[in-house]
Amino acid sequence: MIQNILSNSVTKFASKWVVLVIDVLTVSIAFVLAYCIRFNLSFDFEINKLLVQLPIVTIIALISFLFIGSYKGVVRHTGVRDIYNIFNAICLASILMISMVLLNREVSILNNFTIPLSIIIIHSLLSFIGLTASRFIFKSLYTNLMIRNLKVTKNVIIYGAGESGILTHNALTSSSKGIIRVVGYVDKDDKKSGKHINGVKVYNEKELTENFILEKNINEVIFSMQNIKSKKLRKLVEGLVDFPVQVKIVPPVDDWINGELKVSQIKQVQIEDLLDRAPISIKNSKIENELKGKTVLVTGGAGSIGSEIVRQICTYDYKSLIIIDQAESALYDLQQELKQNGFHNFVPIVSDVRDKNRLNNIFDEHKPNMVFHAAAYKHVPLMEYNSYEAIKINIAGTKTVADLSIAHNVEKFVFVSTDKAVNPTNVMGASKRIAEMYISCMQQQKKTKFITTRFGNVLGSNGSVIPLFRKQIEKGGPLTLTHKDVTRFFMTIPEASQLVLEAGAMGEGGEIFIFDMGESVKIFDLAKNMIKLSGLNYPDDIDIKITGLRPGEKLYEELLANGENTLPTYHKKIKISKVRDLNYVDVRSRIDELCITNMFFNGNTVKLMKKIVPEYVSNNSELCELDEKNKNEKSDKSTLKIVQS
């Protein structure tokens, strides 16, 4: 019967007014018991005085409960905070009673009214015990009786026996969706080993072995350590991925809902959590001073990097933000997102950076002070055989925006480049390198300050390997990898965008800023870890298929070209590349020739690109023939010179 009553009430909380009535009754009963204890468990006292005092004590207790709000807690989730509120309410009631007794002795408001101080003290102790016990009795009944209606879902180990771990335990055990049994805590602190927290044993991290997991039938290991470094987390996770458990992580405290952890927020460890990218601080005083009161224009503003640059700019005190992109749907989504987040001082414009007349009107109308040029085609295999589009957007588009920036007296132009522009082996990389070179040519006019930023892959960007692997895992595999030894640099989109803004603020014109990408990551190892973190086994559940290098693809990416080195800046993650000197007149002339030639669909455009960028040597591509022809032509010329001499 009791179980049925509780079953009917499981979907709703007991009314706080019912709790208040029960608390008041408990205090009243405790007052009677206090008299009995005071008089040796007998009724050898004046009951008439008790009957006079009881209503007053009840009213004082009611006032205390209402003032402190101790009755508002959810009884079946009673915790330390609720007990603390009960203690405060009892203390307040005791103080009020003692004050009334002492005041009545002096002023005599109520004739012959007094309560022995010993009774008040005993009553306070009994009330606290009674109120606390009633809550835990109900909580115990709820747990033990209702638990039969809930399915045992999993056994869990919490990695971290600190405050975060304890709060995680509370969140898990308070979940009404099923029984989550916390088998124990794991902590590196030997002093905690063997002790119990909330009745749960603490184990040393050395005890977390495969035999331990199988013996205790562990389903999940939850990492609940705030501010844990990525390297440390990666090492710990890599030690678990071969075990038959899911590995999850508790989010940072700042991401908890209203400062309280919900079970739904405990997510499976993602591969991004294991890459050594430090969290960033969005607000930055140097960027704030640079953007304050200015009109900022962002091209490619709906793309991966462009949209994040827009989001971060929105947190500063700018005058106006112009967002340009040719992707209508993506731009609309960004517009709605910014509106929902309370940002209004921005103008989304559907436009193409190759349309000079349209861009000229935009520059003329809005008069931007600062331009962030992120619009580009960036997919290596696609651009390898679509050189017309690569040249048109990556080179001619950049040229158009740069020329208009000078014509309209833009203060700073920040160009978002890529590590694929370094010793390029593909059309896309070469087009970005030529765009960098054109930016350097424009800097010579000493009007607009032209700044280039260069970095590698960003996690989660359009076309990134990680989203691709996720989709392949969802479909049951296999994961496709171009080469077993291929490596890449990675950084998060917010971090990359932050550094672009930072470089734009510190740049004085003419610099190529190189971002610290950390250690390169072997993609084969990354693929294996993603499979294991998904709760699957490699190669039994999902295999990895080697497809061969794609046209123009490198095994290893570089951030510096041959002959370049770097200079430090005040920011430890940003360095300045010391590039080779260029013949600016000749380079600009050749770039102009390339853009004009491309307009007529001339097949010699890639050959011209190789002349502009001598280090551009195609790899694993049909365009390698052009390099062979160049070698043969050079060889023929050398032979001719020898014969002539």
Q: Give the residue numbers marked as catalytic.
A: 420
Q: Assess contact for 123 and 149: CB atoms under 8 A.
A: no
How far separated are the first and last CA of the chain, in Å rounded? 113
- Distance from C-alpha of 193 to C-alpha of 176, rounded to nearest angstrom: 30
Q: Assess contact for 178 and 151: CB atoms under 8 A.
A: yes
Nearest CA to 246 out of 272, 220, 222 is that of 220
Furthest-apart CA atoms within the chain: distance in Å: 135
* Beta-ladder partners of 324: 299, 349
State residue 185 phi and psi, 5-degree precision. Answer: -100, 155
Q: Assess contact for 453 and 416: CB atoms under 8 A.
A: yes
Nearest CA to 398 out of 425, 357, 437 is that of 437
- Distance from C-alpha of 36 to C-alpha of 355, rounded to nearest angstrom: 93
Torsion sign across C-alpha atoms 433, 436, 440, 441: positive
Taking CA atoms, 489 is separated from 147, 460, 568, in Å, by 49, 13, 20
Q: Is the peptide bond before 478 cis (omega within 30 degrees of 0)?
A: yes
Taking CA atoms, 237 is separated from 110, 161, 162, 230, 250, in Å, by 70, 17, 19, 10, 14
- Please list, in sequence order, all residues whose beta carbon lies within 8 angstroms of the beta carbon of residue 584, skipping any fewer than 6 positions away: 440, 441, 444
Neighbours of 464 (CB within 10 A): 16
Torsion sign across C-alpha atoms 528, 531, 535, 541: negative
DSSP letters for 6-30: HHHHTTSPPPHHHHHHHHHHHHHHH
* Residues, the chain: 645
Q: Assess contact for 500 and 372: CB atoms under 8 A.
A: yes
Helical spans, DSSP H, in 314-411: 328-340, 356-366, 380-384, 387-390, 398-407
Q: DSSP class of residue 600? A: T
- Distance from C-alpha of 336 to C-alpha of 332, rounded to nearest angstrom: 6
Interaxial angle between packed helices 117-146 and 16-38, expressed in degrees from 0 to 180 and rounded to the nearest 10: 130
Q: What share of the chain is helix, strand, coil (3-state, %, to 5)?
A: 50, 15, 35
Token digits of residue 211: 């035999």
Q: What does the angle CA 144 – CA 148 – CA 149 come to, to the nearest 5 degrees?
A: 125
